[in-house]
Amino acid sequence: MSSINILNDKCVGCGQCLSLCPFGAISMEERPGHPKKFGLAKIDLDKCVYCGTCVSACKFNAINLQKDAPAQGSDKDKYRGIWVYAEQRHGEISSVVFELLNEGKKLASELSVPLSAVLIGSNIKSKAKDLIDRGVDKVYIFDNPILAEFQDDPYTDVLTRLIQKEKPEIVLMGATNIGRSFASRVAARIGTGLTADCTALAIDAQTRNLHQTRPAFGGNIMATILTPQHRPQMATVRHKVFKQAKIIEGHKGEIIEVETDYSTLLNRTKFVQFIKDTSAKINVSDADIIVSGGRGVGGAEGFKLLKELADLLGGAVGASRAAVDSDWIPYSHQIGQTGTTVDPKVYIACGISGQIQHLIGMNSADTIIAINRDASCPMMQIATYALEGDIFEIIPNIIKEIKSKK
C-alpha cells in the first residue's frame, strides 16, 4: 500500500503544498503552544491519490511519500490478449468501436493473441454478433438493467473486475465522452497507466510494449508513450483516426455472459435523464461535409447562417472551441483537440483563425475551404481554397447560388 505523511518536526506551515494540491487533499491545522506559532499541514487520505505534487513542492522535505513498487518481470507474462471496450448507448454501438477493432486486429495478429470485446449495458446481447462479424474472437457481456445507462461507478466496477480476472495485456477505448470519463477510473483502480487521445498505435513484438502516440504541447510535437512495467496497457483513441473494420463473412466468435454480483456494485450517483442533442440533423463526426464557425461568426445568430448552408449541402455544423466557450453552440459541435476529430470530404471554415488545437481535429479533410478577412491566418494558409472577405457577404452569395441551381 502507498503511504504519505507529514513530518511534524520539519513542517513550518508555509501552505505551499495546500495551494498546489490538485485534489484539495491538504488543509492546515493549528499547533497550540508552538513557539513560532507554526501551523501544520494535514493530508486527507480519502482525497489523496499519492501523485507526489506536494512532495516536490515542499522546500523543507516535510512530506514523506512511499508508493507501491511497480509490477515487474514475470507478472507481465500473465497478461495476454487485446481488448476493445465496445461502447454503446441505447443499444447502438459507437462507430469508433469498429475503428478500434480494425487496429486491434492488427495488434492481435502481430502478438499472435485473440481479439476480444467487452459489451456493457442492458438487453444488448444481440449486438455481440455485430462485433464478431467485424473480426472479434471473443465477446464478454455484462447485461443487466442496472447498466442500462452509462454511469461511471458501476461501469468501472464491472470492467475492473473482468480485467483483474482475465488479465488482457492491452485495453483500447474510444476517446469519447464516455471513454474519457471512465477509462482513467479503471486505470487508477487496477494500478496501470493510461495514454489519452491517441492518434497512432504500434507494437514492439519483442517487448510486447504498445507504442501510444498522441499530440503534446498543443499539438506542436507528437509524443510516443510506453507503459513498460505495468499491465494492461491502456489507451483511449480518437474517432476517425483509423478506418473501420470490415465485415468478415463467416467469422466465428465466442460469446461469454459474465456472471457477477450486481448488488455489490458501487454507485454514488443517480441517473436522472438523458437529453439528446437535437440541434444537429447529422452527427458532426460522421458528416462528409462540415460547415464550421469560429469567433468570426460573431454570435449564436451567425450560426443560423452556417446551418442554412450546411442543410443545403447535406452537411453538419461544426465549431471552434472559442464559439463553444461563448455558448453560441453546444459542445457536441466542437472540433479540435478538446472536441471531435473529423475526416470529411469538404470542410468549410468560416471565421476560424486556425489555432493548432483546432487544426489537429480537421486537417485530414480532403478539401478545406476557408472564409476569413485575415488572409494571413493559419486556416487560410492550409486551405485548398481561401476566400478573403466578410463571411456575412460571401456565405449569403453561396447560398443564393446553390438555391438557383436547385
> Is residue 241 one of the residues assigned to a domain?
yes
Grid cell at residue 156: 468501472
Q: What is d(CA 236, CA 199) in angstroms, rounded to the nearest whole number? A: 9
Q: Do 60 and 112 sit in the same domain of this protein?
A: no
Q: What is the DSSP string of 192-255?
A: --EEEEESEEEEETTTTEEEEEEEETTTTEEEEE---SSSSEEEEE-TTSSPPPPP-TT---EE
- Asked whether residue 181 is assigned to any structural domain, the reply reads yes
pLDDT at 74: 42
Q: Same domain for 240 and 313?
A: no
The answer for residues whose C-beta is within 8 angstroms of residue 317's C-beta and 6 or more apart is 280, 284, 290, 291, 292, 293, 303, 306, 307, 310, 329, 333
Is residue 12 domain-shared with residue 158, that is, in the same domain?
Answer: no
More confident residue, 232 or 216: 232
What percent of the chain shows pLDDT beyond 90?
Answer: 54
Instruction: Please give the grid coordinates belonging to residue 73.
Output: 518481470
Alpha helices, DSSP H only, in 251-386? Answer: 300-313, 321-325, 356-362, 378-382
- Residue 278 included in any domain: no
134 and 211 fall within a common domain = yes
Do 113 and 52 belong to one domain? no
Query: Considering Cα of 7, then 11, then 13, then 19, what sign does the dihedral take?
Result: negative
Same domain as 308, residue 205: no
Query: Over 90: is that where the pLDDT of 12 sits?
Result: no
- What angle (nearest 5°) sits at the alpha carbon of residue 235, between those of residues 231 and 236? 155
At residue 298, does pLDDT exceed 80?
yes
**Residues 318, 290 contacting (CB under 8 angstroms):** yes
Residue 270 lies in a domain: no
Q: Does residue 176 sit within a domain? A: yes
For 78-107, the pLDDT digits (tens) are: 899 999 999 998 888 998 999 999 999 999
Average of per-residue pLDDT values in the chain: 88
Does residue 190 share a domain with residue 106? yes
Are residues 116 and 36 part of one domain? no
Specify whether the CB–CB gap between 362 and 347 falls below 8 A. yes
pLDDT tens digits for range 340-352: 888 899 999 999 9
The span from the CA of 45 to the CA of 4, in Å, is: 8
Output the pLDDT for position 281. Answer: 60
For residue 273, is it within any domain? no
Pair 312, 247 in one domain: no
Domain count, the chain: 3
Does residue 269 lie in a domain region?
A: no
Does position 23 have pLDDT exceeding 80, yes or no? yes
Give pLDDT, residue 348.
96
Instruction: Give the CATH number, domain containing residue 33.
Output: 3.30.70.3270
Given 50, 66, 82, which residue is the final one in a domain?
Answer: 66
Among the candidates 66, 84, 114, a domain finishes at 66
C-alpha cell at 68: 507501491
Whether residue 255 is predicted with pLDDT greater than 60 in this model: the reply is yes
Same domain for 97 and 56: no
Task: Report if residue 28 sits inside a domain.
Answer: yes
Write the pLDDT tens digit of every residue in 266-294. Answer: 788 888 887 776 655 667 887 899 999 99
Segments forming the whole domain that contains residue 54: 3-66
State pTM to two decimals: 0.66
CB 126 within 8 A of CB 198: no
pLDDT at 71: 45
Looking at per-residue pLDDT, the higher value among 177 and 368 belongs to 368
Residue with cell string 455489490? 264
In terms of domains, do 235 and 377 share one? no
- Residue 322: give its domain's CATH number: 3.40.50.1220
- Direct distance between the N- and C-terminal alpha carbons of the chain, in angstroms, rounded to an integer: 70
Judgement on whether residues 27 and 48 belong to the same structural domain of the protein: yes
**Of 66, 99, 121, which residue sits at a domain end?**
66
* Residue 120 contacts residue 213 (beta carbons within 8 Å): no
Instruction: Please determine, for residue 330, whether its predicted confidence score (pLDDT) is greater than 50.
Output: yes
